[in-house]
Structure 1
Amino acid sequence: MRLDQRGDSAHSVVMTGHQDDFSHLDRAGRAMANVARNPRLTVNIVVGAGIAFAWLLLGAMAIRGADVRGSAPGDTLLHGLPQLPLPDFLERFFALCLSPAPLDASIGFRAVALTVMWFLMAIAAMLPSAAPMIRTYCEIADTARIKGEPVVHPLVLVAGYLGVWLAASVLFSALTLSVHTFAASREIYDPVLGIAGALALLVAGLYQFSGLKKACLKKCRNPFSILFSNWSAKASSVFRLGVVQGIWCFGCCWALMLVMFAVGVMNIFWMALIGVFTLIEKQMTGSLPTRLAGAILLVWAAALLVVSLSVGEIR
């Protein structure tokens, strides 16, 4: 559904009753005013800036994490990148996220830091794949505006969507903390983390073949029916729509996020790969990419489990 220029003009008349006049503003002011009255442009700018900011922080964290990890994929490249000076609170935040062993901070602080880290990963890897949802909502909203109907800003929808991933980040944080705490208590990081990673890959691989995965992916690929049938001019209802779409997305992608336990939660290269895969998976039709990924994950899980058990026996 696309609107022509005449439709956009009608939109402004219906919404305001007259053409907005920003001639009294300077150039920067006129630009900001035009952005503010264009919800589609606003949400694209905010979402794009949020994704870029998340990748920026995760990139800085990954550079520092390359010194903590052993030899994860891409660490050689990261070693050659400069570590830019950052505020003390960010350095402390990075340390809480990257250290597998408990630091001198309380478990509460570390849980919060890990939650923020997982949420940043969700923004970086999962929010781009929400583009079909955002685009569809904006197209329906454009039509509603032309008819003179009130429309809730699409950022409310995005907030509901991200609310689900924030809740998921709490769960992933608790799981990360549990695995690291157990490994620290036994002083056997390598085999425990390796086995945990293998189990995560096994679950992720099997889930790719499940009916629930297929159902959730179908909803993610076709958000129009949900958005159109539940359309509302109330902010609370639109927020709930975002939550519903977020739940479908979580149902589609939660298992892929478990892959980070196998490759290291701050492996930025695998994070990017997962983000690209989810974006492609939601744009394509058919089940070939999903099933192929599932097969690869299962083979990988078996190999990692064998290696981890061998390390445990040697120790």
Structure 2
Amino acid sequence: MTPRLNPSLARQRAIILSSLIAITVLAWIWVARQADDGMPMRMHGLGLTMGMGAAAFLAMWVVMMVGMMFPASAPMIVTFAAIQARRRMAQRPYVPVCVFTASYMAVWVAFGVGALALAAAMDALAERFDWIMSNWHRIAGGMLVAAGMYQFTSLKDTCLRKCRTPAGFLLEHWRDGWSGSFTMGLRHGLYCAGCCWLLFVILIPLGIMNLVAMGAVTALVFAEKTLPRGDRIGRAAGVGLMAYGGLVLVYPELLPGAM
């Protein structure tokens, strides 16, 4: 028979999982309201930064990442919390799960800084060079094709394997103490970013606040990391991205927001 989980551990697991779900739902509600309200600020170039300053853009990015990444990262966070709970019950040194989660999110904040820099640079170049505006669909199509091709790379496979096995990851990379937990969170975040980074880059041409695109990316990331055939789902999505990117190159009107 399968051993029953200690009631205290089961209760804590339920609390953490419920908290992650609640935070995710709140993040999606906020993003949906922002998308529905629109961005009244003045746009520049392609409007990729939506006229927002750095602080506002990064705040929006963090909320987006919470909504999009917490569902797929929940198994890793819950597994880490369970290990630390057992250490606490055994009266051994333990670390709150928020340390691991905060360092994991720090990676995505850093990624957001890069996304902001890329979007701002493309907006500035588009204002200066008309060629970028008139050929935006070609740039966007190329980004979509590149994202599809990345789904088949060895780096993608390596990072995805790390993300799909929470217990194995923690066993391999375990470090004691607060600094060790912080380091593990960073490492998990780096593997996660290595697995998904181009899927988030394509939100630039598809629309950073495009709820349909965000939902599709969230569902794909969740499927890749948690479902039994997640790797195959990821490759199928890669084929779809390459096909869609190729169509955008020929038919610019297929790009969201195309005139």
Q: Same fold (TM over 0.5)?
A: yes
Cα gap change, 1:124 to 1:189, in 2 (>3 Å) = farther
Q: Does structure 2 conserve the Cα–Cα contact (< 8 Å) formed by 1:202 and 1:297?
A: yes
Q: Does structure 2 conserve the Cα–Cα contact (< 8 Å) formed by 1:40 and 1:154?
A: no
In the superposition, the TM-score normalised over structure 2's length comes to: 0.84
Q: How does 1:39-54 map to 2 (within 5 A)?
A: 40=13, 43-44=16-17, 46-54=19-27
- Find the counterpart in structure 2 of residue 57 from structure 1: 30
Are 1:268 and 2:211 matched, yes or no?
Answer: yes
- Find the counterpart in structure 2 of residue 165 from structure 1: 108
1:266-292 deviation per Cα after TM superposition (whole angstroms, max 9, x unaligned): 101210121111111111234311111
Please provide the CA RMSD for this pair. 2.7
How far residue 40 of structure 1 moved from its aligned partner, in angstroms, is: 4.3
Where does the alignment leave 5 or more consecutive residues of structure 2 unmatched? Answer: 254-259
Structure 2 letter corresponding to 1:292: A
User: What is the aligned counterpart of 2:142 among 188, 195, 199?
Assistant: 199
Structure 2 letter corresponding to 1:295: V
Q: Does structure 2 conserve the Cα–Cα contact (< 8 Å) formed by 1:162 and 1:246?
A: yes
Where does the alignment leave 5 or more consecutive residues of structure 1 unmatched? Answer: 12-37, 66-93, 310-315
- Find the counterpart in structure 2 of residue 154 from structure 1: 97
CA distance in 2, matches of 1:207, 1:44: 31
User: What is the aligned counterpart of 1:302 among 215, 238, 246?
Assistant: 246
How far residue 247 of structure 1 moved from its aligned partner, in angstroms, is: 0.5
Are 1:145 and 2:99 matched, yes or no?
Answer: no
Count of aligned residue pairs for this structure pair = 246
Are 1:278 and 2:221 matched, yes or no?
Answer: yes
Structure 2 letter corresponding to 1:155: C
Per the alignment, in what secondary structure is the counterpart of residue 209 of structure 1? coil
How far residue 207 of structure 1 moved from its aligned partner, in angstroms, is: 0.2
CA distance in 2, matches of 1:234, 1:301: 46
Identity over aligned residues, as a percent?
A: 29
How far residue 233 of structure 1 moved from its aligned partner, in angstroms, is: 4.2
- Find the counterpart in structure 2 of residue 185 from structure 1: 128
Q: Does structure 1 conserve the Cα–Cα contact (< 8 Å) formed by 2:163 and 2:188?
A: yes
1:59-115 deviation per Cα after TM superposition (whole angstroms, max 9, x unaligned): 1121133xxxxxxxxxxxxxxxxxxxxxxxxxxxx445x834499xxx9x6233323
Are 1:250 and 2:193 matched, yes or no?
Answer: yes
Name which one, 1 or 2, has greater alpha-carbon Rg: 1
In the superposition, the TM-score normalised over structure 1's length comes to: 0.70
Structure 2 letter corresponding to 1:218: R
CA distance in 2, matches of 1:232, 1:288: 32
Cα gap change, 1:102 to 1:110, in 2 (>3 Å) = farther
How far residue 253 of structure 1 moved from its aligned partner, in angstroms, is: 0.6
How far residue 188 of structure 1 moved from its aligned partner, in angstroms, is: 6.2
